[in-house]
């Protein structure tokens, strides 16, 4: 009670201090009388296409129309790749409340350069474009012009330049007010949500495609007087090599389409290099144990061996893609690894330029200390499926680099640095995995990719439960419990919904400087602190009249929502779920007056989160009941109060 009383006292002081600020009259928006000039685009905060699309466009000397917006209540200039992306964002609900109104909007001016289209319709410009006020610009819509993200609107500073472009490439000229009335089919997290089931089905098809490899005839059994490698070299392509029970102190190389099948068989290396090397398509490895793997995790000469040392990812190539592995697959398609166990100080399964691989029903035991090991599955430029497997120890359970459209599902991860770690990888699905005890994060996505889905996972006892980056991702139906930080909303233009965020030190952490995410229909319960908000504008976590279920929100139920808004970052309301007396303070005339005033002024809620329509009932009551039962059971085992 002493701790709670101290928190309440602090909250009273904070409220009193804020009321003093009101009396001082510092609430007026400090808007400059003069119109600001355009900023260099590399200095603004950007939204729009993915980093990978930007890099590809720059590599091919393509041009992407850009927009920069100066807002009345936001200290940063916001840049958009694509005029259609900017228009769609400006028209989103709660946009003005979060950012204030646009003071001025500048768009690229293609009238001052020679603009052409490639054979694919991509925009190119002879010189850099300048800037023109959107209200003075002429916009060409429905032309043949494209960017890596799709069809695009092309702006011009003069009507004559726009007319020349239309005459050559088609389309229609509209002004800024007319453009604002149009809707555009821009990519969004809803697209990712709608295709998750399709991607699951595609993964099923990939598994179905490799399973017949286990039924190959003829079967060649390893004899007592020969090595396994002798049998592999002697077997015809398309056949099966069967390894009887026993330990075989050798390493293997498979250069033809074969199936290697063991029954209680161990392939044991000498602690140098790989256990099994695969250099052929349509290879299956079933039912073997591999140990005696080397401990090398990088090859400084790899970039010059396999590619251009000037490539942007040459360091990643050498540092991640060429280590030792229990099963080392390179330049091979359709490899199937199933019912395999691997003990390794480096990689378990390494896939490099090995698309359509399937790792299924396997176990990788890595190093006890993650810094001493490497990846359970290391996949570089190798989209495929990793499922039904267990990864215990080592650096990362599954690591992907430039392996889009990979499905990672129904796995278990224990005591890694990261359970799943995506780098430069878009359009993938991380689904229905269990992660426990990760040092840094259960599931993490880095390097600003797009269109990833993180769904149905259960992540606990990590520093960060789910730590996504990039844009237009879908994070849904996950349970994150007993972590230091549950979910960080650092993937912008993304959808976070139907997650259970329970008993974390911090439930949700706002990681994106822009308020471009939709965070709705989540159950946020029993966290020490529900939300930690960093710098940035007011974030409205409500959509279409509904928000989230909060432990601590209160009010009268009407239509499934409460009639009072709730701010988990408010110094008083943020205490409601865990501090005696906070409700009384929240209902005081001073606190209510402050809340109402701050709710009408965007600038006063910088760095804050507000749910304007908290849900009256949980979205996932059964999951919450299970978590409550687990918590009570743990307290009982520890001798705590179970009443």
262 and 127 in one domain? no
225 and 109 in one domain? no
CA distance 494 to 473: 5
54 and 137 in one domain? yes
Strands 150-151 and 154-156: unpaired
Q: Residue 345 sits in which domain range?
A: 217-374
Domain contains 262: yes
Last-in-domain residue among 341, 374, 407 = 374
Domain contains 571: no
Domain contains 491: no
237 and 165 in one domain? no
What is this structure's pTM? 0.86
149 and 245 in one domain? no
238 and 177 in one domain? no
165 and 241 in one domain? no
pLDDT of residue 100: 83
Within the chain, which residues score under 50 in pLDDT? 1-32, 304, 306-307, 598-600, 602-604, 639-643
**DSSP string over 179-247:** HHT-------HHHHHHHHHHHHHHHHHHHHHHGGGGG-SSEEEPPTTS-HHHHHHHSPTT-EEEE-SEE
227 and 146 in one domain? no
271 and 365 in one domain? yes
CA distance 396 to 374: 6
Q: How many domains does the chain have?
A: 2
pLDDT of residue 506: 98
Q: Any idea what the CATH number is for the domain that residue 251 is in?
A: 2.160.20.10
Domain contains 624: no
What are the angstrom distances between the C-alpha of 246 and each of 222, 257, 585, 641?
A: 11, 24, 72, 53
Domain contains 154: yes
229 and 100 in one domain? no
pLDDT of residue 61: 83
Domain contains 138: yes
Last-in-domain residue among 346, 374, 402 = 374
224 and 167 in one domain? no
* DSSP designation for 372: G
Domain contains 366: yes
Domain contains 289: yes
231 and 278 in one domain? yes
């Amino acid at each position: 009670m002493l701790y709670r009383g101290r928190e309440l006292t602090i909250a009273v002081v904070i409220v009193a201090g804020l009321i003093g600020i009101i009396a001082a009259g510092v609430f007026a928006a400090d808007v400059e009388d003069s119109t600001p000039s355009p900023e260099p685009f590399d200095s603004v905060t950007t939204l729009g296409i993915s980093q990978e699309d930007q890099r590809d466009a720059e590599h091919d000397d393509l041009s992407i129309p850009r927009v920069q917006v100066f807002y009345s209540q936001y200290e940063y200039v916001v840049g958009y790749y694509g005029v259609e992306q900017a228009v769609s964002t400006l028209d989103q609900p709660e946009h003005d409340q979060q950012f204030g109104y646009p003071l001025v909007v500048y768009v690229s001016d293609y009238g001052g350069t020679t603009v052409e289209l490639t054979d694919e319709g991509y925009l190119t410009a002879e010189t850099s474009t300048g800037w023109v006020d959107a209200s003075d610009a002429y916009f060409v819509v429905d032309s043949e012009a494209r960017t890596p993200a799709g069809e695009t609107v092309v702006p011009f500073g003069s009507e004559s330049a726009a007319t020349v472009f239309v005459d050559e490439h088609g389309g229609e000229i509209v002004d800024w007010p007319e453009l604002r009335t149009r809707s555009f089919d821009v990519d969004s997290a809803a697209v990712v949500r709608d295709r998750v089931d399709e991607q699951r089905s595609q993964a099923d098809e990939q598994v179905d495609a490799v399973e017949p490899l286990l039924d190959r005839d003829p079967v060649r059994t390893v004899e007592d007087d020969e090595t396994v490698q002798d049998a592999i070299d002697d077997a015809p392509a398309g056949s099966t090599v069967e390894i009887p029970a026993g330990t075989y102190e050798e390493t293997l190389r498979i250069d033809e389409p074969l199936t290697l099948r063991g029954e209680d068989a161990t392939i044991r290396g000498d602690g140098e290099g790989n256990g099994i090397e695969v250099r052929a398509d349509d290879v299956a490895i079933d039912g073997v144990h591999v140990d005696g793997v080397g401990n090398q995790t990088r090859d400084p000469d790899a970039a010059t061996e396999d590619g251009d040392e000037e490539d942007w990812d040459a360091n990643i190539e050498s540092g991640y893609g060429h280590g030792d592995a229990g099963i080392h697959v390179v330049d091979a398609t359709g490899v199937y690894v199933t019912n395999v166990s691997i003990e390794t100080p480096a990689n378990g399964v390494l896939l490099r330029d090995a698309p359509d691989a399937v790792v299924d029903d396997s176990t990788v035991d890595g190093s006890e200390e993650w810094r001493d090991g490497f990846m359970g599955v290391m996949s570089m430029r190798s989209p495929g499926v990793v499922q039904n497997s267990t990864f215990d120890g080592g650096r990362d359970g599954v690591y992907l680099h430039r392996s889009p459209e990979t499905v990672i599902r129904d796995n278990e991860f224990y005591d890694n640095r990261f359970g799943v770690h995506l780098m430069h990888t878009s359009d993938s699905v991380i689904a229905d995995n269990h992660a426990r005890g990760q040092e840094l994060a259960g599931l993490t996505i880095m390097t600003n990719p797009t269109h990833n889905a993180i769904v149905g996972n259960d992540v606990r006892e990590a520093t960060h439960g789910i730590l996504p980056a990039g844009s237009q991702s879908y994070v849904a139906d996950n349970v994150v419990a007993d972590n230091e930080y549950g979910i960080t909303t650092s993937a912008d233009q993304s959808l976070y919904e139907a997650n259970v965020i329970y008993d974390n030190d911090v439930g949700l952490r706002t990681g994106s400087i822009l308020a471009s995410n939709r965070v709705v229909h989540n159950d946020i319960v029993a966290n020490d602190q529900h939300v930690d908000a960093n710098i940035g504008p007011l974030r409205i976590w409500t959509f279409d009249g509904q928000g989230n279920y909060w432990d601590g929100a209160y009010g009268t139920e009407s239509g499934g929502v409460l009639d009072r808004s709730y701010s988990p970052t408010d110094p008083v309301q943020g205490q409601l779920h865990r501090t005696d007396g906070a409700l009384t303070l929240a209902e005081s005339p001073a606190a209510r007056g402050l809340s109402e005033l701050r709710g009408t002024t965007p600038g006063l809620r910088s760095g804050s989160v507000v749910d304007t329509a908290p849900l009256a009932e949980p979205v996932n009551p059964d999951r919450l009941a299970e978590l409550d039962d687990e918590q009570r059971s743990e307290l009982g085992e520890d001798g705590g109060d179970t009443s």
